A and B are shown apart, each in its own frame.
Chain A
């Protein structure tokens, strides 16, 4: 039976599709009932927001006719999902060719190496929620032979860039400390200005315009106001943030 589902913090469409028994997240995402989410709220299917209202259609049974007393192969079209993280050093330069040990939800996954652009890529299950990368950095002249950088990752927890929490997450990920909670708007101002200065190589001449998130915080679907834009309102900053972060 079709239903409307309120997105919770940490959920993304591939995970929701898996929970609802769909092989392809497009079966949900492309429904006309989800047009508002796709267009007016500018969501990415993997960057949703707590409280987003998602239409989940009925599952449709499919019948296939095959001969008995024979073996038949059925292939589903589950879309593969990846964790892709671009690794940058303290100077903002890509960390290329670094080998990383990976665990997904606590289980060891094959090692991966970053490419020339610093990106490491690991295929993950659709319901994976956490990962940890242990990046083996190139040794410094005077440093330990195998310096490592441990990166705990929360998969599916990136909120839209139109939200304070989404901006803070991107800025924090990119090395600009933007605060621990959405109440810390002053630290967000610091991080947004610092980020823009690095992006434009010029002095930032106007303080970012702000809108406060709900006092209870943004991660409660009951109070999250999915349509409201919060945090930094300047489109130029948000666009650069999205481009630089990669989502």
Chain B
């Protein structure tokens, strides 16, 4: 099946829906339900509110969900800090929070969410083992830090439980594993270890992610790969470990090792495209964006493993009655496959790969999930050509990538201390 057919197919479905809408709202919604296989919601319902990062709050996604489900979904895209703050402090301002498992050391004790009953999640059986056991495939490495499996299972009161249990803290969503991006022309050789982040060959041509929680972990991967320190848990460092790490970073900074620190996706793309850096911590879709600018950039698969992160769709404790039912419908919709196919075209994976596969043309599935060369030019989620024919996704297949997660994004117990020392690092 060609991509064009795929797009047409979607377009066709929406066309038939809008045609049917003329037949009356209730019938139209019922028809939409029957087309997509969702249970009918006959009455027009109140909107629900969802918050998240730009990764998952995209007009096309919530718009399609609203169309399929028959009620409005008001999405609000926030920055990481604002999402964290709003999720924690204003759970009356959303029904659904599309947040991340690394926030859950804070969110679970705070009790802002209600436990999600897996009996109400239709495709719960199809959710992969990545979050349920921590191992996507048998024998995979779970990884240090806030691995989703350590944050997932709760009891009916929302307290942590030893899994598997009937209740979960949040529904596993989109996820990815990050590492280093590099310009092979500048480095002159393949980058195969996090240790290269501190290699003096690249002095003055290295950038690091300036979100302390994540940047510190990238740096820790590098330091450990150099054999300078062995962290007990890179996702939960002790104060002395943080001191060792930051002192080392300050030393490197004073040597002029770092070209810049980036905070947003766009900045990391800029640094690479403008030739300012040769090597930097990077997010997978940013590498694709650099390539789209015609600048060579490779996503490293370091032998030490990658740093993973995982989206977690949660329901506010304040959601009750009909809104709660709608929230569950929205969660179920996320797993159904359309959304999985959408985020796949941005380079993210979904917790129900089997459903995603149903919604992705074979060429695209092979490229994004299997790590095979693109059989033809492939589009981004909005239909713009993104991947050239013959291009191969860096980092290999989904399974390869998640077989060896070194550490998961985490908020450490000593987070405040880390942020304080990180400030010192930047001021130095």
A and B bound? no
Residues of B that sit less than 8 Å from A by CB: none
